[in-house]
Protein backbone atom coordinates (compact mmCIF):
# COMPACT_ATOMS: atom_id res chain seq x y z
CA UNK A 1 0.00 0.00 0.00
CA UNK A 2 1.10 3.49 -0.72
CA UNK A 3 0.88 6.43 1.66
CA UNK A 4 -1.80 7.97 -0.60
CA UNK A 5 -3.95 4.82 -0.32
CA UNK A 6 -3.50 4.76 3.46
CA UNK A 7 -4.41 8.45 3.70
CA UNK A 8 -7.53 7.99 1.58
CA UNK A 9 -8.61 5.00 3.66
CA UNK A 10 -8.13 6.91 6.92
CA UNK A 11 -9.98 9.90 5.49
CA UNK A 12 -12.85 7.66 4.38
CA UNK A 13 -13.07 6.10 7.86
CA UNK A 14 -13.31 9.58 9.36
CA UNK A 15 -16.14 10.48 7.02
CA UNK A 16 -17.90 7.19 7.80
CA UNK A 17 -17.60 7.84 11.54
CA UNK A 18 -19.31 11.20 10.98
CA UNK A 19 -21.94 9.67 8.67
CA UNK A 20 -20.71 11.88 5.83
CA UNK A 21 -21.57 9.22 3.28
CA UNK A 22 -21.02 11.19 0.07
CA UNK A 23 -17.49 12.16 1.10
CA UNK A 24 -16.74 8.63 2.31
CA UNK A 25 -17.94 7.18 -0.98
CA UNK A 26 -15.84 9.66 -2.96
CA UNK A 27 -12.68 8.77 -0.98
CA UNK A 28 -13.30 5.05 -1.29
CA UNK A 29 -13.91 5.24 -5.03
CA UNK A 30 -10.66 7.20 -5.49
CA UNK A 31 -8.87 4.64 -3.34
CA UNK A 32 -10.28 1.74 -5.38
CA UNK A 33 -9.19 3.52 -8.55
CA UNK A 34 -5.63 3.62 -7.15
CA UNK A 35 -5.76 0.09 -5.71
CA UNK A 36 -8.52 -2.04 -7.32
CA UNK A 37 -7.72 -4.97 -5.02
CA UNK A 38 -8.21 -3.13 -1.73
CA UNK A 39 -10.70 -5.48 -0.05
CA UNK A 40 -11.23 -3.29 3.02
CA UNK A 41 -12.16 -0.34 0.78
CA UNK A 42 -14.85 -2.44 -0.92
CA UNK A 43 -16.07 -3.51 2.52
CA UNK A 44 -16.36 0.10 3.70
CA UNK A 45 -18.00 1.12 0.42
CA UNK A 46 -20.55 -1.60 1.16
CA UNK A 47 -21.12 0.02 4.56
CA UNK A 48 -21.81 3.34 2.79
CA UNK A 49 -24.44 1.69 0.60
CA UNK A 50 -25.93 -0.25 3.53
CA UNK A 51 -26.35 2.99 5.50
CA UNK A 52 -28.20 4.40 2.51
CA UNK A 53 -30.39 1.27 2.50
CA UNK A 54 -29.10 0.32 -0.97
CA UNK A 55 -28.87 -3.37 -0.08
CA UNK A 56 -28.13 -4.61 -3.60
CA UNK A 57 -25.05 -2.42 -4.04
CA UNK A 58 -23.96 -3.10 -0.46
CA UNK A 59 -24.18 -6.84 -1.08
CA UNK A 60 -22.16 -6.47 -4.29
CA UNK A 61 -19.42 -4.56 -2.45
CA UNK A 62 -19.25 -7.07 0.41
CA UNK A 63 -19.05 -9.95 -2.07
CA UNK A 64 -16.28 -8.12 -3.96
CA UNK A 65 -14.39 -7.62 -0.68
CA UNK A 66 -14.73 -11.33 0.09
CA UNK A 67 -13.61 -12.27 -3.42
CA UNK A 68 -10.48 -10.17 -2.94
CA UNK A 69 -9.85 -11.34 0.65
CA UNK A 70 -11.85 -14.41 1.73
CA UNK A 71 -10.44 -14.02 5.26
CA UNK A 72 -11.89 -10.54 5.84
CA UNK A 73 -14.23 -11.32 8.73
CA UNK A 74 -15.83 -7.86 8.72
CA UNK A 75 -17.04 -8.34 5.14
CA UNK A 76 -18.66 -11.67 6.04
CA UNK A 77 -20.32 -10.08 9.07
CA UNK A 78 -21.55 -7.13 7.00
CA UNK A 79 -22.89 -9.48 4.34
CA UNK A 80 -24.74 -11.28 7.13
CA UNK A 81 -26.36 -7.97 8.06
CA UNK A 82 -27.61 -7.53 4.49
CA UNK A 83 -29.04 -11.05 4.48
CA UNK A 84 -30.69 -10.50 7.87
CA UNK A 85 -32.17 -7.21 6.64
CA UNK A 86 -33.67 -9.09 3.70
CA UNK A 87 -35.07 -11.77 5.99
CA UNK A 88 -32.71 -14.51 4.78
CA UNK A 89 -31.94 -15.96 8.21
CA UNK A 90 -30.09 -19.06 6.98
CA UNK A 91 -27.75 -17.05 4.77
CA UNK A 92 -27.22 -14.49 7.54
CA UNK A 93 -26.41 -17.23 10.04
CA UNK A 94 -23.89 -18.79 7.65
CA UNK A 95 -22.23 -15.41 7.03
CA UNK A 96 -21.98 -14.62 10.77
CA UNK A 97 -20.61 -18.08 11.50
CA UNK A 98 -17.99 -17.64 8.76
CA UNK A 99 -16.99 -14.30 10.30
CA UNK A 100 -16.67 -15.98 13.69
CA UNK A 101 -14.64 -18.84 12.22
CA UNK A 102 -12.20 -16.26 10.81
CA UNK A 103 -12.24 -14.05 13.91
CA UNK A 104 -13.55 -16.09 16.87
CA UNK A 105 -13.84 -13.12 19.21
CA UNK A 106 -15.60 -10.81 16.73
CA UNK A 107 -18.14 -9.07 19.00
CA UNK A 108 -20.19 -7.64 16.13
CA UNK A 109 -20.71 -10.98 14.38
CA UNK A 110 -21.35 -12.66 17.73
CA UNK A 111 -23.93 -10.03 18.71
CA UNK A 112 -25.71 -10.20 15.36
CA UNK A 113 -25.79 -14.00 15.44
CA UNK A 114 -27.25 -13.78 18.95
CA UNK A 115 -29.97 -11.44 17.73
CA UNK A 116 -30.70 -13.83 14.87
CA UNK A 117 -31.06 -16.76 17.28
CA UNK A 118 -33.35 -14.73 19.56
CA UNK A 119 -35.56 -13.73 16.65
CA UNK A 120 -35.61 -17.36 15.52
CA UNK A 121 -36.92 -18.47 18.91
CA UNK A 122 -33.74 -19.91 20.42
CA UNK A 123 -33.70 -17.41 23.28
CA UNK A 124 -31.12 -19.28 25.39
CA UNK A 125 -28.51 -19.48 22.66
CA UNK A 126 -29.28 -15.91 21.60
CA UNK A 127 -28.81 -14.49 25.09
CA UNK A 128 -25.63 -16.52 25.59
CA UNK A 129 -24.14 -15.12 22.39
CA UNK A 130 -25.19 -11.58 23.32
CA UNK A 131 -23.45 -11.91 26.69
CA UNK A 132 -20.32 -13.29 25.04
CA UNK A 133 -20.37 -10.42 22.53
CA UNK A 134 -20.57 -7.87 25.34
CA UNK A 135 -17.63 -9.50 27.12
CA UNK A 136 -15.57 -9.62 23.90
CA UNK A 137 -16.30 -5.95 23.23
CA UNK A 138 -14.99 -5.04 26.69
CA UNK A 139 -11.85 -7.16 26.16
CA UNK A 140 -11.19 -5.57 22.78
CA UNK A 141 -11.75 -2.07 24.11
CA UNK A 142 -9.41 -2.72 27.03
CA UNK A 143 -6.78 -4.26 24.76
CA UNK A 144 -7.02 -1.38 22.31
CA UNK A 145 -6.69 1.14 25.12
CA UNK A 146 -3.56 -0.63 26.36
CA UNK A 147 -1.93 -0.52 22.92
CA UNK A 148 -2.77 3.11 22.13
CA UNK A 149 -0.17 5.49 23.64
CA UNK A 150 -2.70 8.32 24.02
CA UNK A 151 -5.12 6.05 25.86
CA UNK A 152 -2.34 4.80 28.12
CA UNK A 153 -1.45 8.40 29.01
CA UNK A 154 -5.08 9.17 29.86
CA UNK A 155 -5.37 6.00 31.95
CA UNK A 156 -2.11 6.77 33.77
CA UNK A 157 -3.23 10.35 34.37
CA UNK A 158 -6.51 9.01 35.75
CA UNK A 159 -4.62 6.79 38.20
CA UNK A 160 -2.42 9.70 39.27
CA UNK A 161 -5.53 11.79 39.96
CA UNK A 162 -7.22 8.97 41.90
CA UNK A 163 -4.09 8.38 43.99
CA UNK A 164 -3.71 12.13 44.57
CA UNK A 165 -7.32 12.44 45.75
CA UNK A 166 -6.79 9.40 47.98
CA UNK A 167 -3.71 10.96 49.56
CA UNK A 168 -5.46 14.29 50.11
CA UNK A 169 -8.42 12.53 51.75
CA UNK A 170 -6.06 10.42 53.87
CA UNK A 171 -4.22 13.54 55.07
CA UNK A 172 -7.49 15.42 55.78
CA UNK A 173 -8.97 12.60 57.86
CA UNK A 174 -5.78 11.81 59.76
CA UNK A 175 -5.02 15.24 61.23
pTM equals 0.74
**How do residues 127-167 score in pLDDT, each as one tens digit?**
777 677 777 777 667 767 677 777 677 777 888 888 888 88
pLDDT of residue 72: 94
Per-residue exposure over 94-127, b if at least 16 CB sit within 10 Å of its own CB, e if not:
ebbebbbebbebbbbbbbbbbbbbbeeeeeeebe
pLDDT beneath 70: ranges in the chain: 1-3, 130, 139-140, 143, 145, 151
Q: How many CB atoms lie within 10 A of CB 63?
A: 15
- Domains, the chain, ranges and CATH? 3-104 (1.25.40.10)
Alpha carbon distance 11, 33 (integer Å): 15
Query: In angstroms, how far is the first alpha carbon of the chain from the final one?
Result: 63
Mean pLDDT (the chain, rounded): 86
Amino acid sequence: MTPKVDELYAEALGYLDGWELDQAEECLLRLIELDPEHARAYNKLGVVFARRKDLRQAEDCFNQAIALDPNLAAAHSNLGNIYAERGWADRAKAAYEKALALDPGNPTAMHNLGVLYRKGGDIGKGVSLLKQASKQERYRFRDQARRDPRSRRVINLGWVIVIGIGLVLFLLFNR
